[in-house]
Amino acid sequence: MQDAFRISEPEKSSIGDFLSFTVFDDERKRPARITGTALALFGGGDDRIAVFERNAEKICRAAYLMSRKNPALDILILGSGSFPHDDMSSV
């Protein structure tokens, strides 16, 4: 993954079944979300921010792959399909 690609911490004020965060890709900054269903795949209980923080590397990798497959997207939305089951075995 490129060194210039990173994600922010999740926003604590997200309302709904998702967490919002920001993707920084070189000079481009895009809003992003991860669904509650995707976060549930990682397990870890009800504290979704803690689950996000523990799995930030996997979330960053999924955001990176989505941004490369769909460079024209203005917002990245990661759902359960963004995390293949075989990748989850290392959680």
35-87 pLDDT, tens digit each: 999 999 998 777 899 999 999 999 999 999 999 999 999 999 999 999 986 45
pLDDT band at 1 (very low <50, low <70, confident <90, very high): low
* CA dist., res. 29 & res. 22, Å (int): 7
Domain regions of the chain by residue span: 5-80
In this structure, the number of other CB atoms found within 10 A of the CB of residue 52 comes to 20
For residues 76 and 90, give the distance between their C-alpha atoms in angstroms, rounded to a whole number: 24
Residue 88 has pLDDT above 60, yes or no: no
Q: Which of 35, 89, 75, 86 is nearest to 59 (CA)?
A: 35
Task: Name the pTM for this structure.
Answer: 0.86
What pLDDT does 69 receive? Answer: 95
Instruction: Select from 3.40.50, 1.10.3470, 3.30.70, 3.30.160 the CATH code of 5-80.
Output: 3.30.160
Q: Which helix or strand (DSSP H or E) is residue 45 part of?
A: none
